[in-house]
Amino acid sequence: MRKVKVKKNMRMTLFLLLILALIVLLAPISTLPSHVQDPNLVVQHVYRSINESRKNMGYLSCRTGNPIDDCWRCDKNWEMHRQRLANCAIGFGKHAIGGRDGKIYVVTDSKNDDSVNPKRGTLRYGVIQEEPLWIVFAHDMTIKLKEELMMNSFKTIDGRGANVHIASGPCITIQYATNVIIHGINIHDCKQGGNASVRDSPDHSGWRSMSDGDGISIYGASHVWVDHCSLANCHDGLIDAIHGSTAITISNNYMTRHDKVMLLGHSDSLTQDKNMQVTIAFNHFGEGLVQRMPRCRHGYFHVVNNDYTHWEMYAIGGSASPTINSQGNRFLAPDSHGSKEVTKREKASEDEWKKWNWRSEGDLMLNGAFFTPSGARTSKSYARASSLSARSSSIVGSITANAGVLRCKKGSWC
C-alpha cells in the first residue's frame, strides 16, 4: 500500500511541477499588464512590439513577401548577376532599366571631384557618360561632392557590396534624363550647390544656379527607380520629383531625421505635372520625420505597403487635386492629439477638396491615426493611381523590415 501511495504522491508532485513550469513559460507572453491605463505606456508598448517584429522578421528568411526583394535577394551570386536587379522593379517605374544593357563601371576615387573635368574612376565621370553603365564601388567610401551630381540617361548607381555615402555636399540631380536606377546608397546631410559650371555629359557643361539641396532631385525625368537607399537630413527634400517627371518608383527606402520629406509636383499652377505617376512602396518612414510623406500635386500617386512609424504634423498631403490611392499601409500616429490625422489638404476649401480623389483601402491605423477620404469611391476613379497589387497591412512589418541600405557580402544573400 505504501508503494502505491508513494507513486501517487510522485505523480502529483510531477503534475504540480509541470503546471508551475507552464505558468513560468507563459508569463512573459503578456508584457503589458491589463490594468495599465497610462496611454503613454500603451504607445511605448506598441513601439516596442513593432520594432521587435521588424527586427525579427528581417532575419528569418531571404523571402519576405516583398516582390522586389524576393526577385533577387536569395541569389548568393548576386555580385555576378548585378544587372538582373533591373528586371525586379515594380510600380510606375518598372520599366526603368538603368545601365542594365551596358558595361560595369567601377568607382575607385572618392576624393577628387571636379565638377567640370571629372577624372576617370570618379562617380561623376561615370554618371555623365552617354553609354549605358552599371556603376559599382571598389570599396567603402564617403563622397563629398562639390556640385550637384548631374546624371545622364541609362545609368545605375549600385552600392551593394560597399558602404557608400553621398553626404555633406550637393547630392544627386536627375534632370531631363530617363532610365535611371539608384540602389543601395546612403544619402544624407545634402547641401545647396550652384552658381558654378557643372558637366552633365562628355560634350557639355553649363552654368547652374543655386540648387535646392535635395537628396535626390528628379526634374523633367522619366523611368526612375530609387530602391533600398537610406536618406536623412537634407537642406530641402529627401526626394523631390517636379516639372513633368513621371514613371517613378520609390521603394524599400528608409527615411529619417527630416522635415519636408518628399515633394511630388512643383506648384499648384504648373499643370505639366498632371500626368505624373509615382509609386511609393515598401518604404519605412522613421524617426525624426515631420511632414510630406509625400506632399502631392496634380498627378496620380500609389502609396502602398509602407510603414509609417513617425510623423509630427501629418503623413500624406497635397493640393491642386491630386489622386492619392493609399493601400495596405501601417500608420502609427504620434502622441500629440493634434497630429493624429494621416492626411492634410492645403490651399483649398472643404467644398473644393471634397472633390479630390483620396482613398484609404486596407490601411492599418494605430494609436488613433485616421485618414480623411474624399472624392469618388469607385475603383475606376483610381485606375491611373494603381500600379501593383497591395499586400495585407498585417505583413507590412515583414516586407519593410529591411528597408534602407542592405548589407551585402560576396557569396551570401543580401
Which residues belong to the active site?
Answer: 292
The answer to whether residues 219 and 174 touch, using CB atoms and an 8 Å cutoff, is yes
DSSP codes of every residue in 53-88: HHHHHTTT-S--S-HHHHHHTT-TTGGGGGGGGGGG
Supply φ then ψ for residue 8, to 5 degrees: -65, -40
The answer to whether residues 374 and 358 touch, using CB atoms and an 8 Å cutoff, is yes
C-alpha span between 200 and 118 (Å, rounded) = 10
Q: Which one, of 261, 248, 253, lies nearest residue 228 by Cα?
A: 253
Three-state secondary-structure class, residue 363: coil
C-alpha span between 88 and 364 (Å, rounded) = 27
Host H or E run for residue 41: helix 39-57
Per the structure block, which three cell numbers stand in for 352? Answer: 473644393
Q: How many CA atoms lie within 13 A of 122 on its CB side?
A: 20
Cis geometry, peptide bond prior to residue 294 (ω within 30 degrees of 0): yes
The answer to whether residues 331 and 365 touch, using CB atoms and an 8 Å cutoff, is yes
Per the structure block, which three cell numbers stand in for 257? Answer: 531625421
C-alpha span between 300 and 311 (Å, rounded) = 23
Q: How far is CA 369 from CA 160, 201, 308, 362, 366, in A?
A: 36, 47, 11, 14, 5
> For 168-196, b where at least 16 C-beta lie within 10 A, e where not — what string?
ebbbbbbbebbbbbbbbbbbbbbbbbeeb
Q: How far is CA 186 from the centre of its chain?
A: 12
Q: Which residue has the cell 522586389?
A: 68
C-alpha span between 293 and 241 (Å, rounded) = 13
C-alpha span between 164 and 142 (Å, rounded) = 6
